[in-house]
Chain A
């Protein structure tokens, strides 16, 4: 991996890679402050806090702060997902020091101004409505809501309308103080400067980020509904949409890699089972695929197709047959080998940019595997056996699934 790992005096773990590949400095900070951790009644707090982090500091209002970054051609922004918040850093090399100092200022002293909070609240509330201008979202949101019930994974990272309305500045400040702690964060960075110099630059940039007071208590894992059965939703769209799936192993589970391979066989690319059977042979759909997102806790594995309402029953039947066929007979050695090659190829593509390379190192560290796992990943992938993959596929595909259908009114 060729990266150096160190800890700054404020406790922030840094993974640093010196690279002269490109005249940009890039970085990713991951911190366990995702929507999973949102307090009850404040659903959306994690996401709101991340969005507002770049909207001004104690010294500068949002406009002035953005101007300082933008005049340097730099950008620093944060966002939340289910399990973590992420801060992305990008700057031309000659502006790196100043831009890092601004990132540090933002992490240490965000303003969370009332004006920006109201603006962001209105935006987020509007986005909760407008996402239903896309049929995929209608199916996906219903799928997660049913599958997870009251578990945080069952709702959007952006939160709920009720939760968003209740969020105040005090909530934001407390969230930031107790959850955005350098000691729980990982910052992975790449630039042309040697580590011996970068270390000092980072120490100075992040020195003021050292909050006091107790760290947030670990969130407890609420029960997952794990519903199966059917849910039909009516909509305004010309197309119909089907999404069906089950709960699936979390990212650190020993079966996760095997499932990633099987998922690629079933829904990855243009020679996947779903694509070939439902699109190429039967001409039922343009959009047909599957997904198995990476989650720290119980994830999900789902298959979907968007098609004409008149083809929905056929599509569903054929998808059923295809999945039971895989449960019975497993995937073939050729499919298995191809899926591994596709994952390997995709891994190489993803590692082309400094930002993504850095993200992977931070992610492996976040997952508790250490940055060096970036090299082991491909070895593990190569060593995975077909029988393992088929065992995992069989176990999951024989479970009762949850099926959501979106049909025109």
Chain B
């Protein structure tokens, strides 16, 4: 196993306002990525505010104190860069990738987005229909619909169940004032992480970041904690759509990021579906020929997380495929993954991890995600911990989480 550390040459510091900063100079390519993570997402919304974090993500690009809406993307794109953002349940991430000469502009713009947005009413009137269109587009996409259903089956608390994108009615009701209040409450330096990776001089970049972000408001009202004992009651959801095949999800909630079982659950996903020889791929797809594809994942957050097994199949194969999956999961307890299966999964995970770290963008994204979850100390040792999971340990984790086979399920299929 090649020595490699995701935090190699990374300089971490905190500004007086509480902003956490990670700078990772790397001169392998003449590029820089500047990313910001804000700890705000759909879990911070009330029912009436559903979709507000995502609306905000759109509106930050629609004008700030020093940039009009039409100047923001033009400024970065004229440098040969690109920018975008994404909202999830717990975080909103902004990222700007530029050739190295644009590094300072990228950092400056990132800071403008984070605390100098202007929320012009005219801009909001133009952006509202775009977001409503985005909702329609998701409604036309069976995989997006399956994802929403899946989340609803895992969690009972409304803050965890609501779609990140919100509902047409709640998006319609947003006003610039509502946006501004939400922004001032949640976009606080102590709730944010900035990561810059790529071809820059460390001291200079540190100065740029300090100058750009030192005026960002620090402390805000505390974030509403999520309910701790989220009791899991498996449930089922089925949505009828005129689709060509059945889209199926099974899963169960898992503990927050940083839990001692995290790496074993990650490894379990690789044992089940990574590569042609993985358990479920071999069984459901290659041998029994019941599904077109099958995937699994362990997705962690700082709050409740999830393990999912997704497959798609012909409509008439949905029941036999489900039965075969249950049998395979039962067998997993009787015949736990062998030493060889575990080694195979580890080797594939290791290559995948290395390959993904080839780009600055991904490096910064991973650092930001661990930092935003409050688990950055666990990042350097992640691969080593994954490699250290023994078949025995994996088997114990399987007993804990899959012992009773209490799984939720969601289906999108034709009537």
Contact = CB atoms under 8 A, between A and B. Distances in A.
Interface of A: 21-24, 62-63, 66-67, 70-75, 90-94, 119, 122-123, 126-127, 129-130, 132-135, 236-239, 269-271, 276, 279-287, 306-308, 334, 337-338, 341-346, 348-349, 351-355
B18 interface: no
Contact of A354 (B4, B84, B358): B358
Given A123-B292, A237-B140, A352-B360, A345 B82 contact: yes
Nearest to A309: B136
B103 to A, nearest CB: 13
26 contacts: A24-B351, A63-B286, A66-B277, A70-B276, A70-B347, A70-B348, A73-B350, A90-B351, A92-B351, A92-B354, A130-B292, A130-B312, A133-B244, A269-B82, A270-B84, A271-B77, A281-B126, A283-B128, A285-B133, A286-B130, A286-B133, A286-B134, A342-B82, A352-B28, A352-B359, A352-B360
Interface residues of B, number: 63
A95 to B, nearest CB: 8
Interface string B72-88: 01100111111110000
Given A123-B292, A126-B292, A306-B137, A24 B347 contact: no
A62 B289 CA distance: 15
Given A73-B350, A127-B292, A269 B276 contact: no
Interface string B255-298: 00000000000000000000111000010001001001000000
A86 to B, nearest CB: 17
B377 interface: no
B99 A348 contact: yes
Contacts of B70: 271, 276, 280
A282 B126 contact: yes
Contacts of A21: 28
A265 to B, nearest CB: 11
Contact of A239 (B4, B29, B140, B289): B140
Contacts of A23: 2, 4, 354
A307 B129 CA distance: 10
A356 B274 CA distance: 23
Interface in B62-100: 69-70, 73-74, 77-84, 97-99
Given A123-B292, A127-B292, A353 B359 contact: yes
A28 B250 CA distance: 36
A222 to B, nearest CB: 30
B127 interface: yes
B77 A283 contact: no
Contacts of B340: 71
Nearest to A237: B140
Interface in B126-180: 126-131, 133-134, 136-137, 139-142
Contacts of B130: 279, 283, 285-286
A285 B131 CA distance: 8
Contacts of B69: 280
Nearest to B276: A66
A340 B292 CA distance: 42
B243 A71 contact: no
> What 3 A-B pairs are tightest by C-beta distance, nearest first?
A345-B80, A73-B347, A66-B276
B351 A238 contact: no
Contact of A93 (B2, B61, B83, B343): B2
B212 to A, nearest CB: 21
B141 A134 contact: yes
A85 to B, nearest CB: 19
B31 interface: yes
A242 to B, nearest CB: 13
Interface of B: 2, 4, 28-31, 61, 69-70, 73-74, 77-84, 97-99, 125-131, 133-134, 136-137, 139-142, 242-245, 275-277, 282, 286, 289, 292, 312, 314, 340, 343-344, 347-348, 350-351, 354-355, 358-361
A62 B245 contact: no
Nearest to A341: B80
Of the candidates B69, B99, B314, the one having the most CB atoms from chain A within 10 angstroms of its own CB is B99
A126 B351 contact: no
Contact of B79 (A130, A308, A341): A341
A60 to B, nearest CB: 12
A40 to B, nearest CB: 28
Nearest to A282: B126
A66 B314 CA distance: 26
A352 B97 contact: no
Nearest to B84: A270
B337 to A, nearest CB: 14
Contact of A338 (B78, B128, B131): B78
B347 A72 contact: yes
Nearest to A65: B276
A333 B97 CA distance: 24
Contacts of B29: 348, 351-352
B245 A342 contact: no
Nearest to A305: B133
B129 A284 contact: yes
A384 to B, nearest CB: 15
Nearest to B346: A73
A13 B347 CA distance: 31
Contacts of A67: 276-277, 344
B74 A352 contact: no
Given A23-B354, A122-B289, A130-B244, A271 B73 contact: yes
A344 B73 contact: no
A73 B349 CA distance: 8
A96 to B, nearest CB: 12
A282 B84 CA distance: 20
A353 B358 contact: yes
Given A133-B245, A239-B136, A354-B358, A345 B286 contact: no
Contact of B137 (A94, A280, A287): A287
Nearest to B131: A286
